[in-house]
Chain A
Amino acid sequence: MEKRATFSNKFLPYLLVAPQLAITLIFFYWPASQAVKESFFIQDAFGTTSSFVGLENYRTLFADPYYFHSMGVTAVFAIAVTAASLSIALLLAVQADRGIRGKMAYQTLLVWPYAVAPAVAGVIWIFLFQPSLGYFAHLVRALGVDWNPLLDGNQAMTLVVIAAMWKQISYNFLFFLAGLQAIPKSLIEAAAIDGARPTRRFWTIVFPLLSPTTFFLVVVNIVYVFFDTLGLIDAVTGGGPAKATETLVYKVFQDGKLGGDLGGSNAQSVILMIIVIVLTSIQFRYVERKVTY
């Protein structure tokens, strides 16, 4: 799609795109290309010399059991958060879409966690689950669980999943609600006249028609878990205990910072770039032609 009428001016358009392009070139493309380049080099301990090593960094990475461990952690984290927050959000959105009173009030009370920073949400959840004084920790203890997320990897994972999910419900709720409101009421009414009960109507009409929204949200949630939870993990567990909550992004951050292994960190960055490119392409393909029936 193009405009019929335009301005003609030799310099102005360049001037107008210049600030944005300058920032993208300096802070996006240049560092990204450096990451790709440095992933083929190894630096000495003082960062003074670096030598070309070809695919050595990648070979080391794929020989590192911790890297696969971290992939597994990311996968478990992504699946748990996506599945749990999507189901809860869908359940709530379906209730809010029933035409009951106070819909706006419920919406207000449910959407605000979107604005809470992941790290801040994390700090609150650490407090609630703090083994010796946390409110929920006491409840869990009372149920007979030996609760200590500082020592138990699975419990630490549970804690970050709960915190990440708590924050993500609001976003999913809003998009499900919008998706539900876009479904023509006549379809539901027709099914009701044919004698279909609400549960059956939901699974045979509403849920299939929501599939574009659901698919979109699955991609967005995976991106969220991959990238936006870094602050949450850093605040809640620091990747521990024993790397039980170290996601791929957190590993890049840790290896470059503490380990000082810049080559390896950059090789991981390049792999993450490929993952983002794939995820974003899927997301935009969806925008082009939606999944419909």
Chain B
Amino acid sequence: MVENRPFGNILAHLILIAGVLVIVFPVYMAFVASTWDPATIANGKLGLLPGPYLVENYSRILFEGTGRTTRAHVDVMLLNSFVSAMIIATGKIAISLISSYAIVYFRFPLRMVAFWLIFLTLMFPVEVRIYPTYKIVADLGLLDTYAGLSVPLIASATATLLFRQFFMTVPDELLEAAKIDAAGPLRFFKDVLLPLSRTNIAALFVILFIYGWNQYLWPLLITTRDDMQTVVIGIKKIVTVQDALTEWQLAMATAILAMLPPVLVVVVMQKLFVKGLVETEK
């Protein structure tokens, strides 16, 4: 602190509290709505306090399905989201680790070609090649499968760049020592590089899990069966069946459940999250 300005500090607290209220209030209201009955919400009588229907609403979307709006249960959607997010995050990390290992620790023809091919995928987000990619996945028979939901998203230029950068900072002496001790490339990777990369892997995992969980366009395109939907696309179907008929208490309960896992990951692993976010953007 440069100088003591008690008034300035109070003002800072006030501004930050206002900011927090703006950020938290919408989600708090969604939670409140998820604990009331449809009549209270439809009459615009929703107050600021939670109501008595919490258990009923959540158990309805989790175990009984949402009735007339959709057949899929939210528990199945949550499971699908979780499985595909896990495959995407671990898959991206695994193939990026080994490809950047090859690019940094080996000299082979076409090495730079491989690097640029991976790097330039940054230029082709799924949004700019929607239908051709859909067609390939359909031709491969991967519609409505976990493989279809995750494998096409697994290539990762950012993760490869991050690991490449990190491997460059690992001292050469470690490799020389390992070679003197007669360790082969696989052993060096497993016993030296992997343990050193632990924090980077964890930070990246947090970011990629959120990325995978929050996918929208891709699951929307390639899932047709209700039991393969992820929760992020499932929620939209609950809302737009017909505006007047939307069961808002169930929609809001689904929204809360859909955001809970990734938000918990951010809050619980905040240090790793911040590290991952800052490093993947470098």
Residues of A within 8 A of B (CB): 1, 3-10, 12-14, 16-17, 19-21, 23-32, 34-35, 38, 88, 91-92, 95-96, 98-100, 102, 106-120, 123-128, 130, 132-133, 135, 138, 150, 166, 169-171, 174-175, 178, 185, 188-189, 192, 198, 216, 220, 226-227, 230-231, 234-235, 238, 249, 252-253, 256, 262, 265-266, 269-270, 272-273, 276-277, 280, 287
Contact = CB atoms under 8 A, between A and B. Distances in A.
B132 to A, nearest CB: 4
Interface residues of B toward A: which range?
35 or more
B277 A171 contact: yes
A125 B26 contact: yes
B267 A24 contact: no
B132 A34 contact: yes
Contacts of A13: 102, 106, 108, 111
Contact of A27 (B42, B96, B152, B236): B152
A119 B131 contact: no
B230 to A, nearest CB: 9
Nearest to B261: A115
Given A175-B278, A276-B125, A256 B217 contact: no
Interface in B116-146: 117-118, 121-125, 127-133, 135-137
13 contacts: A4-B172, A7-B105, A17-B114, A31-B129, A34-B132, A112-B267, A115-B265, A119-B236, A169-B19, A171-B277, A188-B2, A252-B127, A253-B217
Interface in B192-247: 210, 213-214, 216-217, 220, 232-233, 235-236, 239-240, 243
A27 B128 contact: no
| Chain A interface helix/strand/loop/mixed | helix
A275 to B, nearest CB: 8
A112 B5 contact: no
Contacts of A216: 281
Contacts of A91: 15, 19
A25 B155 CA distance: 10
B194 to A, nearest CB: 14
B29 interface: yes
Contacts of A132: 44
B185 A12 contact: yes
B168 A266 contact: no
A98 B129 contact: no
A117 B213 contact: yes
A220 B118 CA distance: 20
A166 B216 contact: no
B16 A12 contact: no
Given A133-B248, A230-B216, A269-B130, A23 B155 contact: yes
B190 interface: no
